[in-house]
Structure 1
Amino acid sequence: MAAMSVGQMVELFVEPGAPIYVKAFDGSTYGSEDAPVTLVIRNSRAIYYLVNAPGELGLARAYLQGDIDSPQLDPGDPYALFGKLVDVKPYLRTPNPAQLAKALASVASHGIRRPEPPAIEGPGRMRRMSEGLLPHTRKGDAATVSYHYDQSNDFYALFLGPSMTYTCAVFDSPDTSLEAAQKAKLDLVLDKLALKPGDRLLDIGCGWGSMAIEAAKRGIHTLGVTLSEEQVEWAQRWIRQEGLEDLAEVRLMDYRDVPEGDFDGICSLGMMEHVGYKHYPAYFQEIYNKLKPGAMLLNHQITRCNSHQGKKAGEFIDRYIFPDGELSSPAEIEMTIQDTGFEVINQENLRQHYALTLHRWNENLSAHWNQATAMVGEPKARLWGLYMAGCAYNFEHNNIQIHQFLCVKPDRTGTDVYPLRPWWPRH
């Protein structure tokens, strides 16, 4: 029995007429050269990646290594290619067992191989647990946060821009600049919290310190905490440069270990994704205990669209982006918040704003592509381009959302401590 070519293998999984052209290293092809998308399979390692890890993980490994590529691809901003690849989805099919066995036998005839994953791939869930990094424990959280954020401050600055704000911005229009939109987001959070000069704010998961800086400029005493050493170093230097040491402080600290209490406000922007669904009650109780009666929480996090979707991230996100990351629906989050004792004053979905934010980050990465690859290597630069473009696509198509919850802790007389109508200006 003759071994199958790569083009013949592709045809097992993709029906004729699909809007894609595939060129393979063995000289075989699939489809028409005038198709809107061309994929190039550069070597046999791509095939072995897909055999060993069918689906998104195998595809990601091959793409990050450059084993699968496209002449239409901008690796810093691959969003444009996504829509064209989605058009191929209706043409996908599942081979029958005999066809699949023949394809696997063709691969095996060249030798059974298990290529090493890209060097930037993190360990899977089982290996992390075997090393004592249990999900959402202090040790596990410290390791997973460090994995994502302790990369290179200068690399993040290439696409985040001067604000160094790694959360959803708020846009007045699609033409609003990233910096203006990030400033509007920080202002929106502080305005919703109704903080005034002299008040005390705790910023949980403070990132590189943009909220601490903005709040301090308003005269608000701000403590930011993060588990990333690189972020602490950047934030502390930024605070010194602004001359705000008397108002802003950033610590390398788990939020559960903050000894202070009686804060006038607490914000948590893009941190809940790391907490874990089962730990939501303890998380909100910790925040509740650290707030003064009558004080407010602004919780800002990525969410699922409904409670039927699974909580855990897929293998690609878990190994490359957010180990142990979990998402849940806004209804589940709000239920936990109210069960803790808070009153939810306002809930806002910023899904469209996050898509715009991610497009800006991708544009920045593409514009600084040579610097990015020089700093972190092409596989890691490709990873962030792929991740951000994929997130933009999913936000645009309502596969994921992002919500802000504004909550008040009751005082002895209840929660009749805020104005009758929203008091924050539109940003």
Structure 2
Amino acid sequence: MTLLSRPTISIGDALSTLVRGELPVRFEAYDGSTAGPADADIRLELLTERGLRYLLTAPGDLGLVRAYVAGDLVLHGVHPGDPYRALALLRTGLHLRPPAPGEVVALLRGLGVVPLVPPSPPPQEQLPRWRRTVEGLRHSLGRDAGAIQHHYDVSNAFYRHVLGPSMTYTCAVYPEEGASLEIAQEHKYDLVARKLDLRPGQRLLDLGCGWGGMVLHAAREYGVRSLGVTLSRAQAEWAQERIHEEGLEELAEVRHLDYRLVPERDFDAISSIGLTEHIGVRNYPAYFGWARDRLRPGGRLLNHCITRHDNTRRATAGPFIDRYVFPDGELAGSGTIVAAVEDVGLEVQHHENFRAHYARTLTAWCANLVEHWEECVAEVGVGTARVWGLYMAGSRLGFEHNEIQLHHVLATRTDEQGSSGYPLRHTF
């Protein structure tokens, strides 16, 4: 693609006119123009006209993401597996002013990009939410399966490099300063087990079980008969192999199955670790009602999920997360979770926030991605690897700045006389 007219303004000058104060980073463009301090530690380099068109045709951060994932915009001074420093600097130091009426058209003409034709997005990008109806209504069985497979069936080897040996893709719980990621993930599973008061011979259902970490822990450490379900075939196959390797076939099972199709009932405990983000806020009543009906009287439910820091904001994620990371994902405040649990007749016993722990978990995952960058690129391609570095570093910032949180909500099913079997004080 070529420019349709001779530019009369450089890209660097155009950017400078839209920035309040000085740029916090150095900007360099393919037309030879620059902006920002020459001695900045971090440089943004725009390599192509396609990259410029990405920036100009997509609202918010989506154009930046497209140009970066496609390789048209390069970050210098940070590793693509952990661009945290660059994102933090841009978050606090970049202040763009809204253009005056008519200014946008004048800038486009000056840059020589009128008419402005949007380039095709990178292959990692999913269709916008409103165009996914071909896959079924939102949170239908088929559409949910597609969304989960987009995110979780990337590559088991890729996840092994990023997540570490535990293959645990949820927030860890750090028992003390300096604890390793593996210790923190083990501690998380054990905390969930203790909150559920697991005992030998009981039955556990783990919803959205991932690679089976909770299923394995409950069977191995507590002698609990554990069933896990996941919509990711790759996860289910990996988990079943691990169960076989550890000789836990009589106690543990992972099925490639939608939780709504689980036929068994009367479980002593249900754990939901990182699934609620995928089911849709409107479906909370049906989801927690379904869980209630699968618990025996006195049984316990532990819901572990990412939440917003309040209960007033819209549930849908921004375009980057929705199109590149978690299609159809939704987040609500922890109060919304608690209300939904209580409204189906479950009794909330405990509510806890692990926001700081998730920031640490993401820091560790980014470090793993940096350490195994070449292997990860070989597995999934450089564009997808860039998406993951951006997503994890950006999420770390979100947790650090209290934009998102991670909550445990522990609840019990009471019997007809109103007894929950819960002790006078917590035992975990």
Determine which of 26, 45, 50 is the counterpart of 2:31. 26
1:156 aligned to 2:159?
Answer: yes
SS in 1 for 2:102: helix
The residue identity in structure 1 corresponding to 2:215 is: A
Q: Quote how far apart the aligned CAs of 1:125 are.
A: 1.1
1:27-426 aligned within 5 A: 27-89=32-94, 91-109=95-113, 112-129=116-133, 131-217=134-220, 218-424=222-428
**Contact 1:365/1:372, CA 8 A, preserved across alignment:** yes
CA distance in 1, matches of 2:37, 2:334: 45
CA distance in 1, matches of 2:164, 2:25: 36
Structure 1 residues 224 and 43: CA distance shift in structure 2, 3 A: same
SS in 2 for 1:95: coil
**Contact 2:41/2:77, CA 8 A, preserved across alignment:** no
The residue identity in structure 1 corresponding to 2:320 is: F
Q: Quote how far apart the aligned CAs of 1:99 are.
A: 2.4
Structure 1 residues 240 and 22: CA distance shift in structure 2, 3 A: same
Q: Quote how far apart the aligned CAs of 1:175 are.
A: 1.1
SS in 1 for 2:76: coil
**Contact 2:300/2:413, CA 8 A, preserved across alignment:** yes
Structure 1 residues 110 and 418: CA distance shift in structure 2, 3 A: closer
Give the equivalent residue in structure 1 for 2:3.
none
Structure 1 residues 178 and 211: CA distance shift in structure 2, 3 A: same
Q: Quote how far apart the aligned CAs of 1:140 are.
A: 1.2
Q: Quote how far apart the aligned CAs of 1:414 are.
A: 1.4
Cα deviation digits, residues 153-188 of structure 1 (max 9, x gap): 000110101100100000023411000000000000
Deviates more, 1:98-107 or 1:362-371: 98-107
SS in 1 for 2:301: strand
Q: Quote how far apart the aligned CAs of 1:300 are.
A: 0.5
The residue identity in structure 2 corresponding to 1:26 is: D
**Contact 2:302/2:410, CA 8 A, preserved across alignment:** yes
CA distance in 2, matches of 1:158, 1:109: 42
Computed over aligned residues only, the root mean square deviation of the Cα atoms, in angstroms, reads 1.4
Structure 1 residues 23 and 238: CA distance shift in structure 2, 3 A: same
CA distance in 1, matches of 2:287, 2:353: 21
The residue identity in structure 2 corresponding to 1:281 is: P
SS in 2 for 1:168: coil
SS in 2 for 1:197: coil
Q: Quote how far apart the aligned CAs of 1:107 are.
A: 4.1
**Contact 2:413/2:420, CA 8 A, preserved across alignment:** no
Aligned-pair identity in percent equals 48
Query: Structure 2: which 5+ runs fail to align?
Result: 1-5
Q: Quote how far apart the aligned CAs of 1:109 are.
A: 4.5
Count of matched residue pairs: 422
The residue identity in structure 2 corresponding to 1:265 is: A
- State the TM-score, normalizing by the size of structure 2: 0.96
SS in 2 for 1:54: coil
Structure 1 residues 173 and 339: CA distance shift in structure 2, 3 A: same
Deviates more, 1:329-338 or 1:31-40: 31-40
The residue identity in structure 1 corresponding to 2:249 is: E
**Contact 2:172/2:361, CA 8 A, preserved across alignment:** yes
CA distance in 1, matches of 2:293, 2:21: 62
Cα deviation digits, residues 101-132 of structure 1 (max 9, x gap): 11122345476432211111111112211x14
Deviates more, 1:185-194 or 1:132-141: 132-141
Q: Quote how far apart the aligned CAs of 1:412 are.
A: 2.5
**Contact 2:174/2:357, CA 8 A, preserved across alignment:** yes
SS in 2 for 1:70: strand
SS in 2 for 1:144: helix
SS in 2 for 1:366: helix
**Contact 1:408/1:415, CA 8 A, preserved across alignment:** no
Query: Structure 1: which 5+ runs fail to align?
Result: none
**Contact 2:42/2:78, CA 8 A, preserved across alignment:** no
